[in-house]
Amino acid sequence: MGIQNAIADLISSLGQQVTRSKSDLEIHGRSESHFSLSPPDAVVYPETTAQVAEILTICARHRCPVVGWGTGTSLEGQSQAVLGGVVVDFSRMNRILSIAAEDMTVTVQPGVTREALNEELRATGLFFPVDPGANASLGGMAATRASGTTAVRYGTMRDNVLALEVVTASGEVIRTGTRARKSSAGYDLTGLFVGSEGTLGLVTELTLRLQGTPEAISAAVCAFESVGDAVAAVIDTIQCGVPMARIELMDTESVAAVNAYAGMGLAPKPHLLLEFHGTEASVREQAETFGMIAKDRGGSGFDWASRPEDRSALWTMRHNAYYAILAARPGARAIVTDICVPISKLARAIEDTRADLERSGVQGPILGHVGDGNFHAVLLVDEHAPDEIMRAKQVSERMVERALALGGTSTGEHGIGIGKLGYMAREHGGGWAMMGAIKAALDPDNIMNPGKLVPPRT
């Protein structure tokens, strides 16, 4: 059989770097979300690009499925080997290769995590802004087109990956993009690989854009009477040109969860959490402008902090919100949803989702990167109650339908994986077949993360 022959060749070529231990297969068969275990047939730990090329050459020869693995934190089952085959775990390719401080770029191997990178950058006065909360790998973040709290100011992985080294489905090593900040030299292959979830090739090196650590940072928190008022304040703030670095919404249910988990003592109302970056003077001006807007929109308890410890308490709370919400219903599992709409439709999308949750009797605190029009509901379900799971999935499906009807997308940042494959035709129409044609051209034997993202081969 193809897979077994491939594994035999991999072992003779890479020896101890190939494992089939039960625990390793299970670790690489699990998912952060609610999908069931699907262990691969083997896990390989490459240490160099040449080894990745060797792996893909062998797998191409035997038509063996290959699935990349960063830290396995993706939420739609992206890194699960649903058709078996080999998982390529990039954890040993975790070197920072070069920092170009004047150019504000860095070149890394794909297994470097976001936190490790920022740790290493600290001394340079630069930082990498994309922040999905989880300590994900940069290869995985590129593959899912991740974003997070700071995208409103600094963009997503789409905006922050300058160049890639990729090993194609046939084992060829190619480079996309350059270290120049922009280019008009042909198709944007870098942009094509970012967000492709390992279905077109494996990323073995990334050149990323960095930002200068701001001279001053301040954070703020503000309660509103309704989600509508909070979102109106966000829109006003953006239209005034205030360059917010972060602007996050937590609805009343999320606030209750973090109050219980971290003893935050926030008023039981929707809250915005903000961060401003700039010079001392501009940060003060930004916070003041926001304060005035918030007041106009009925905001209360507006409070801003430039002390690092207060800021860090605030963002720790935000980053732990997922766990706080999980703790709100002990023993429950989470189905995390993720839609993104034009910001003028955001309040409506959130309010309709809230009403739908009430109607369906599903517990689902809502939080979001509202500057982007992006939000999540964390649907808490008892995994032994099929009826509850079904109702939660229906809520999730209606969220997507609502997003599409409002001119938005089925996923703002978590990606497709297996969880959202069913919406691709609805979202893209004929564009989905076009994605299939691209996949077929670049991976004719369908070995790269098969069963994901594109239409099934017929």
Ligand X SMILES: Cc1cc2nc3c(=O)[nH]c(=O)nc-3n(C[C@H](O)[C@H](O)[C@H](O)COP(=O)(O)OP(=O)(O)OC[C@H]3O[C@@H](n4cnc5c(N)ncnc54)[C@H](O)[C@@H]3O)c2cc1C
Part in contact with ligand X (CB under 6 A); list of ranges 145-153, 210-218, 227-235, 305-313? 145-153
Among 6, 25, 53, 67, binds ligand X (CB under 6 A): 67
Q: Which does 267 bind (CB under 5 to 8 A by kind): its own copies, ligand X, none?
A: none
Number of alpha carbons in the 13 Å side-chain half-sphere of residue 146 = 26
CB of 279 vs ligand X, minimal distance in Å? 28
CB 117 within 8 A of CB 128: yes
CB of 182 vs ligand X, minimal distance in Å? 9
Among 26, 172, 296, 358, binds its own copies (CB under 8 A): 172
CB of 368 vs ligand X, minimal distance in Å? 10
CB 377 within 8 A of CB 371: no
Q: What's the CA gap between 89 and 203, in Å, rounded?
A: 12
Nearest to its own copies of 99, 219 (CB atom): 99
Under rule CB under 6 A, how many of the chain's residues touch ligand X?
35
What residues between 229 and 268 interact with its own copies by CB under 8 A?
Answer: 235, 238-241, 243
CB 384 within 8 A of CB 331: no
Among 7, 10, 99, 143, binds ligand X (CB under 6 A): 143
Among 65, 139, 195, 368, binds ligand X (CB under 6 A): 139
**How far is the CA of 378 from the CAs of 152, 153, 364, 372, in angstroms?**
21, 25, 5, 18
Q: Which two tokens stand for residue 431?
A: 């564009």
Nearest to ligand X of 186, 265 (CB atom): 186
What residues between 187 and 226 interact with its own copies by CB under 8 A?
Answer: 187-189, 191-192, 194-196, 211-212, 214-215
Among 69, 128, 224, 304, binds ligand X (CB under 6 A): 69
DSSP structure string for 63-121: T--EEEESSS--SSSTT--TT--EEEEGGG---EEEEETTTTEEEE-TT-BHHHHHHHH
DSSP structure string for 269-333: S-EEEEEEEE-HHHHHHHHHHHHHHHHHTT-EEEEEE-SHHHHHHHHHHHHTHHHHHHHTSTT-E
Which residue, among 401, 411, 404, has the nearest Cα to 372 in the 3D structure? 411
CB of 296 vs its own copies, minimal distance in Å? 16
Note the residues at the interface with ligand X (CB under 6 A). Answer: 32, 67-75, 78-79, 90, 110, 132-134, 136-137, 139-141, 143-144, 146-148, 197-198, 202-203, 322, 413-414, 449
